[in-house]
Structure 1
Amino acid sequence: MTEFTRKQSASTQKKSGGFAEVVRTLLYAVIIAVGFRTFAYEPFNIPSSSMVPTLLVGDYLFVSKFTYGYSKYTVGLGLPLFDGRILGSEPERGDVAVFKQPRDNRTDYIKRIVGMPGDRIQVTDGILHINGEPVQRERVEEEVAPDEYGRLVRATVYRETLPNGREHLIREISDAGPYDNTREFVVPERHYFMMGDNRDNSADSREFSTVGYVPEENLVGRAEFLFLSLDDARIWEIWKWPFALRFSRLLDGVV
């Protein structure tokens, strides 16, 4: 073998080794990213106004997968790997949670947990009642907001305090809407009652044709914090970011 041939062979082996190293690095990166998304935190975006004023259309947030433990909907893509939940703890009243819509077990919804297993839930004249007791709400401000048909109307923002002391803001356009007076709901064992903070513009557990009671295994995770918030721009429209970024919301926790 000539000196030239030996150098050419060594160069070829070096290039081959370098390419294999790049492939291994990319593979490790993919495995880590998939594992992080599957078992730790998954990103979600807010496409509707059902959680206003807490969450706005164009908010992007991380949801912790491990907080409530794991089910076939958090790690198994809905495949029947196992039933129920493992390695988790019970959600708390007031948590903002992502869950699979019970009617199709595929669509992601995000709402607030207001009813725990065994609770009696009812809305009367716009006021949430839990186990026969009205939930305290305090008027914060008046604002102009779109109703369910997109028309601008006056709305009131309240601070609602749940029985465990958790506080959050809600929006009410009126106290006489379709879901402002409901029957009493009794939450079954291992189920939860979910409501949107935009009370007159939210499909939630008050509407059984869409959501109803949410089984514990349908919970995907708890909303933790915003990593991006864009006003009238999509995440890939980077050229719009300088004008669309809501800087004040970046890294805000979800309460």
Structure 2
Amino acid sequence: MFADKEKSRVAEKSDKAGGGLWENVKVIVQALLLAVVIRTILFQPFTIPSGSMMPTLLVGDYLFVNKFSYGYSRYSLPFSPNLFSGRIFASEPDRGDIAVFRFPPNPDIDYIKRVVGLPGDRVQMRDGELYINGEVVKREADGLFRADDQYDTGEPIPIFRETLDTGVSYDTLDTRPGTIGDNTREFLVPEGHYFMMGDNRDNSADSRFDVGFVPAENLIGRASLIFFSLGNDTAFREIWKWPTNLRWDRLFKVVE
């Protein structure tokens, strides 16, 4: 009788342990599925790997990309399965947006640049000034910039603030006059494509060069919020360096 009771208690404990383990597994699976859904449909984290978008975005910025802002293409999905062509729930970017997209010559690579030209636009650089449809974009001096990482040239770089005809305003860098990207031919943006440029005008591989026109299908989303930022070439895993290298003023900063 006593032995039977002990066996019953052991079995009951075993059932509770098994049930508790199963509940934990379900919670973990649900959390993973939720994370996949959020990353696939809503927001994707992105790290700035180069200085091509300085001073707007810096190396070491960690930001969220809004994936539903432009709709969805095969590149919105993990591993980019060829399930459909074009975009669904498509919405056109606004001129001045900062967009993440797949590099047209090699769609395995993500790029981030500013949308400068929309379909049908004529885009050209003349003596360092941006022209859209024959009209110069307003440009005025806006101080000096100096990087806090590998892109520090040792001297402050002139900042020029551009203001589009839509009222969108943002800072650009002009490291030196007369570079290859300061004077270009006039580009006519084809239907269903976009012209992208980096804010660091003299140090950006963009639509003026090998990036070319970016198909709408290659768009992943619009950069929306910087949620973390580390300066001085600090790796995310170097937690012990966070207190001195964390850019506090950039935390939860809206990307413009």
**Fold equivalence (TM over 0.5):** yes
* Corresponding position of 1:78: 80
Q: Which moved more, 1:116-125 or 1:169-178?
A: 169-178
Structure 1 equivalent of residue 226 of structure 2 = 226
Query: Contact 1:140–1:158 (CA<8 Å) still a contact in 2?
Result: yes
Name 2:99's counterpart in structure 1.
Answer: 97
Match of 1:196 among 185, 195, 198: 198
Q: Show the counterpart of 1:62.
A: 64
Preserved CA contact (<8 Å) 1:153 1:173: no
Match of 1:85, SS state, is coil
1:49 counterpart SS class: coil
The equivalent of 1:32 in structure 2 is 34
Q: 1:11–1:176: structure 2 CA closer, same or farther, 3 Å change rule?
A: same
Amino acid at match of 2:244: F
Q: Which residue number corresponds to residue 246 of structure 1?
A: 247
Distance 1:227 1:142 in 2: 25
AA at the equivalent of 1:222: R
Is contact 2:124–2:132 with CA below 8 Å preserved after alignment? yes
- Per-residue deviation at 1:155? 2.6
**Per-residue Cα deviation, 1:163-200 (whole angstroms, up to 9, x for no partner):** 21110000001231011000111101000000000000
Q: Distance in 2 between matches of 1:27 and 1:143?
A: 46
Are the structure 2 counterparts of residues 141 and 241 from structure 1 closer, same or farther at C-alpha, using a change threshold of 3 Å?
A: same
Answer with 189-198 or 133-142: which moved more: 133-142
**TM-score, normalised via structure 2 length:** 0.94
- For residue 23 of structure 1, what is the aligned residue in structure 2? 25
**Partner Cα distance (1:143, 1:237) in 2:** 26
Aligned residues: 252
Structure 2 counterparts to residues 1-255 of structure 1, below 5 A: 2-75=4-77, 77-143=79-145, 151-153=153-155, 155-208=157-210, 211-232=211-232, 233-255=234-256
Provide the C-alpha distance between the structure 1 equivalents of 2:60 and 2:151, rounded to a whole number of angstroms: 19
Gapped regions of structure 2 (runs ≥ 5): none
Distance in 1 of aligned mates of 2:213 and 2:85: 18
The alpha-carbon deviation at position 81 of structure 1 amounts to 0.8
Partners of 2:78 and 2:242 in 1: CA distance: 34
- Shift of residue 140, structure 1, vs aligned partner: 0.8
Question: Counterpart amino acid of 1:241?
Answer: W
Moved over 6 A (4+): none
| Structure 1, unpaired ranges of 5+ | none
Distance 1:22 1:231 in 2: 38
CA contact (8 A) 1:111 1:195 kept: yes
- Residue type matched to 2:225 in 1? F
**1 CA distance for matches of 2:242 and 2:92?**
38
Rounded to whole Å, the distance in 2 between the matches of 1:238 and 1:69 is 36
In the aligned structure 1, how far is the partner of 2:188 from the partner of 2:15? 70
In 2, the alpha carbon distance for the partners of 1:143 and 1:35 equals 39
- C-alpha separation between the residues in 1 aligned to 2:13 and 2:52? 61
Matched-pair identity in %: 51
- Measured in 2, the distance between the counterparts of 1:173 and 1:35 equals 42
Question: Contact 1:154 / 1:173 at 8 angstroms: preserved in 2?
Answer: no
1:109-152 per-position Cα deviation (integer Å, ceiling 9, x unaligned) = 10000000011110000001001111110111134569x99754
Report the AA paired with residue 97 of structure 1: A
Q: Is the 8 A contact 1:78 1:105 kept in 2?
A: no
Once the 2 structures are TM-superposed, how far is the Cα of residue 76 of structure 1 from its aligned partner? 5.0
**Structure 1 residue 238 displacement after superposition:** 1.3
- Residues 119 and 194 in structure 2, CA contact (< 8 A), matched pair in contact too: yes
Alpha-carbon distance in structure 2 between the residues aligned to 1:144 and 1:246: 14
